[in-house]
């Protein structure tokens, strides 16, 4: 049975036991000073489920599990957290009842009374993504959203208290799609050649062992590494002592006729590593992108998550920077983004999700180039046909296309504070669906 069918059965069962029944409305208590609907939020953190002005949570759960959130009919209804949508109906909540399920038996939220649902059953949804419009369906007495929450123990949770406690914070579960997920990261390691005579950053032999410890402290499962020069690679692998697999691997680098090595200067600089205890290599590939005065091959691997058996493609890139002695590289970066986008489309045709990590040396152009047409999202963005970047933009990114979502995300500057590199580590807990 697929995840979607199991979710539909679970939601139907909850309807049968009256989870979404609607009694007489009680008087709303006084609002707290700081309202959840007024808090700034970016994905994958928890959203207040209704957007717009004059939105008011009546906080009238008690005899029934849900609360009514009064708002204008037609206001956008947003998923409070990521998950899989299940669209159903009930006499009480109307014909467009949506459940967003993380994992069966764990956090699930319901959205009723809606005049319209804009998602379909089985659709993967990002936190903050529009899933419908406020209406007056079912037993609604006025324009409002009926909102209910089941927690991680499978029991009803006071939805108003849950919103007050969680809006703007990470979702209170790291289980999604029946998986605890994997930690995906991108790290520019700061090439050894850049710190030979640098007064600010230690040499690579000091930094590299600490970078291994750093990645272990994050329990990183898959990492795209940039500026990973040969001496750094050698010391990293010796320090890690078999913890990580890597591509390009030793056999590839030792073969001068290998397509990855042929015509590719400094072939180690862009590498993908994976934790051998959690991930398994199935296939390898590369893309060729412009870089300063020539082209570089960037690694692509297909990995299997050992616990779930689910697979995904991973691409790691480093696009050329301007102002470092090679002139304006804007056109080369645009060409690189086009090549990288085309590769994502090609790999998505296999039916598997795709992750892209890297130092793109671009903010909005990189984001828009890869997310346009809802091809990909970042952990902190919402799917968009055109371009809807998050409030904070860096040059180091994680993108995903297809059946994967995130429950945690950070652009963490601790590595720079520790003088391990001049970049942040960008990491996310990713969950691959069936």
Domains of the chain: 3-166 (2.70.70.10), 182-432 (3.60.10.10)
Helix (H) or strand (E) holding 119: none
Residue 23: per-residue pLDDT = 33
Dihedral (C-alpha) 426, 431, 432, 434: value to the nearest 10 degrees? -170
Peptide bond into 194 cis (omega under 30): no
Low-confidence residues of the chain: pLDDT under 50: 15-32
What is the percentage of the chain residues whose pLDDT exceeds 90?
Answer: 86
**Widest CA span in the chain:** 76
Would the CA dihedral through 200, 205, 209, 212 be positive or negative?
Answer: positive
Residue 33: per-residue pLDDT = 58
Radius of gyration of the chain (CA): 24
Residue 25: per-residue pLDDT = 31
pTM of the model: 0.92
Residue 31: per-residue pLDDT = 30
Please state the separation of Cα 341 from the chain's center in Å: 18
Residue 30: per-residue pLDDT = 36
Helix (H) or strand (E) holding 83: strand 83-90
SS3 61: coil
């Amino acid at each position: 049975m697929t995840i979607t069918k199991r979710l539909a059965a679970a939601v139907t069962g909850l309807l049968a036991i009256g989870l979404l029944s609607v009694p007489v409305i009680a008087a709303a208590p006084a609002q707290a000073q700081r309202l959840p609907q007024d808090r700034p939020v970016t994905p994958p953190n928890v959203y207040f489920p209704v957007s717009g002005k004059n939105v008011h949570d009546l906080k009238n759960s008690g005899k029934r599990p849900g609360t009514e959130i009064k708002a204008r009919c037609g206001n956008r209804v947003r998923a409070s957290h990521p998950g899989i949508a299940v669209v159903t109906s009930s006499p009480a909540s109307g014909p467009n009842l949506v459940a967003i399920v993380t994992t069966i038996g764990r956090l699930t939220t319901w959205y009723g009374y809606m005049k319209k649902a804009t998602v379909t059953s089985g659709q993967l949804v990002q936190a903050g993504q529009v899933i419908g419009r406020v209406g007056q369906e079912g037993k609604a007495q006025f324009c409002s959203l009926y909102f209910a929450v089941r927690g991680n123990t499978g029991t009803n949770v006071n939805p108003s208290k849950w919103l007050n406690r969680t809006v703007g914070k990470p979702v209170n579960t790291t289980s999604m799609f029946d998986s605890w997920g994997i930690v995906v990261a991108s790290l520019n390691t700061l090439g050894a050649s850049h710190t030979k005579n640098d007064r600010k950053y230690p040499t690579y032999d000091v930094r590299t062992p600490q970078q291994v410890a750093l990645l272990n402290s994050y329990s990183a499962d898959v990492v795209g590494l940039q500026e990973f020069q040969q001496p750094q690679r050698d010391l990293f692998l010796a320090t890690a002592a078999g913890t990580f697999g890597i591509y390009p691997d030793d056999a590839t680098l030792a073969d001068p006729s290998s397509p990855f090595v042929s015509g590719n200067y400094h072939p180690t600089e862009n590498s993908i590593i994976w934790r051998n205890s959690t991930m398994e290599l199935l296939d390898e590939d590369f893309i060729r992108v412009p870089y300063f005065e020539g082209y570089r091959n960037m690694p692509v691997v297909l990995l299997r998550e050992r616990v779930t058996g689910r697979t995904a493609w991973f691409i790691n890139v480093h696009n050329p920077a301007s102002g470092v002695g090679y002139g304006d590289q804007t056109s080369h970066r645009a060409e690189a983004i086009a090549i990288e986008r085309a590769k994502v489309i090609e790999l998505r045709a296999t039916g598997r999700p795709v992750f892209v990590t890297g130092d793109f040396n671009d903010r909005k152009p990189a984001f828009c180039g890869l997310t346009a047409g809802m091809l990909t999202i970042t952990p902190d963005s919402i799917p968009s046909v055109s371009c809807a970047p998050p409030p904070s933009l860096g040059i180091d990114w994680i993108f995903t296309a297809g059946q994967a979502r995130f429950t945690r995300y950070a652009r963490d500057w601790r590595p720079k504070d520790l003088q391990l590199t001049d970049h942040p580590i960008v990491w996310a807990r990713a969950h691959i669906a069936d």
